[in-house]
Amino acid sequence: MPQDHNTTIEHLFRTEYGKVVALLTHKFGTSYLEQIEDATQDTFVKAMQVWAYQSVPDNPTGWLYRVASNRMIDVLRSGKKLEYRELEELQHNSTVSHSADPDLDQSISDSQLKMIFACCHPLLSQEYQIILSLKLIGGFSNKELAEALLKKEEAVAKSFTRAKKKFREEVQFLKIPVQMGLQSSLFQVLRVIYLMFSEGYAATSGSQIIKRDICYEALRLALLLQENKYCKHPNLNALIALMCFHASRFDARLDEAGELVTLEQHDRSKYNQELISIGVHHLENAGTLDRTPSEYHLEAARSYYHSKAKSFAQTDWKNILYLYDVHLKLYYSPMVALNRIIPFAKVYGPKDGLVELELLGQRANLGNQGLYHAIRAELQSELNQPEKQQSALKKAIALTENELVKKHYRRKMNL
């Protein structure tokens, strides 16, 4: 099979899998989730075979949905799961040419929005909500999910099986919660989307640092939420802004050889100004009024300062440090505290930065984090301590799973 077809199928699986699963679950019901997964996966295998020798359809979603739907009907017919009349009605509906169906896009949006809230049903544990969402909506593989959740693949596979069983038992219909119960569900949905984007933006392991498909799918789902009047919330606007600012820097994060480029070395002419403008629009609409700013607000604001700076030297480190301090006061996290060291050192100098880093390491036990040693190496480099820098980089390499980041640290060792 030509390489471009492999790439096309991989891209379509990432972007279309969740759509097809949501449409089929809405059509056939949550009790057939296992069969829906199998039918969808069989359909993608068929697409790989058919599209290798034919052109990709103008509307691949319509093709995938129609084939998967017919596959589901065949499965239910053979298992005598539905009455004859019900099967005939489903068969009739599925023979309609979805490639020319003007309502298909709306059906996808409605089904996916309902699927998101179904996966985040309050009767499901938070772990199950995240696993179901990332698998069924984001199309994550077990390996990607294990990386995102810092679990072993075998554990993820078992958790997914248990989560699906609970899902079938507790979630009878796909629906958007009524307004009163929406906000608590919405906050969990936003967390899932944030996790999805974070794994795409800085892959924890593997040979890629950016998985754009995952990031853009997370952004698309957030924008989809905004179409529902009951989902409009400052936190949603802040999350969209955050993702836009981060995504605007994609092209500057890797050089032409695919190697990692540090923020200091970014070619800022490559920043996507359209995404920055969209981010600014959403950040302006994310006003908290008398509310406490969310973590999304604070991270979006920090990313805004990075995106608008004309150069690394012109970055407003004082405001970025202030935003980190507010973040830690409201929502303490050792990893946020670790990332704060960089602007702290820019404001107060590398010597004070190193002292702050060591104090944090003692308090939060961060010695097993590759980033901790990478930051130490950077500060020691600025203090002209080459031997200590080399030692810290060796520890960073040993503790880092992402191959591209490892390679970046090795290059720094040889400078």
Per residue in 320-370, pLDDT (tens digit) is 999 999 999 999 999 999 999 999 999 999 999 999 999 999 898 888 889
**Calpha distance 148→398 (Å, rounded):** 19
CATH architecture for segment(s) 316-415: Alpha Horseshoe (1.25)
pLDDT at position 84, please? Answer: 45
253's tokens: 């994060």
Give CA torsion, residues 241, 243, 247, 253, to 10 deg. Answer: 110
CATH architecture for segment(s) 104-188+200-213: Orthogonal Bundle (1.10)
**Calpha distance 262→76 (Å, rounded):** 53
Amino acid identity of residue 221, one-letter, is L
Domain boundaries, the chain: 1-101, 104-188+200-213, 233-312, 316-415
268's tokens: 């800022």
pLDDT tens digits, the chain, 415 residues: what are they? 444 555 666 667 777 888 898 888 888 888 888 889 999 989 988 888 888 777 777 788 888 888 999 899 888 887 665 554 454 555 445 444 344 444 556 666 678 788 888 888 888 888 888 888 888 888 888 887 887 777 788 998 999 999 999 988 888 767 766 554 566 688 888 988 998 888 788 765 555 556 787 888 889 889 988 887 778 889 999 999 999 999 999 999 988 888 888 899 999 999 999 999 999 999 999 986 677 899 999 999 999 999 999 999 999 999 999 999 999 999 999 999 999 999 999 999 999 999 999 999 989 888 888 999 999 999 999 999 999 999 999 999 999 887 888 888 898 887 6
400's tokens: 């880092």
**Calpha distance 143→120 (Å, rounded):** 22
Handedness of CA 223, 227, 233, 237 (dihedral sign): positive
How many residues would you count in the chain? Answer: 415
pLDDT at position 268, please? Answer: 95
Contact 378, 366 (CB under 8 A): no
pLDDT at position 258, please? Answer: 81
Angle at 115 between CA 108 and CA 127, to 5 degrees: 145
Angle, helices 142-149 vs 179-201, to 10°: value is 100
- For the chain, give the mean pLDDT: 84
195's tokens: 């996790």
Tokens 């980041």 locate to: 405
**Calpha distance 231→238 (Å, rounded):** 13
**Calpha distance 56→374 (Å, rounded):** 45
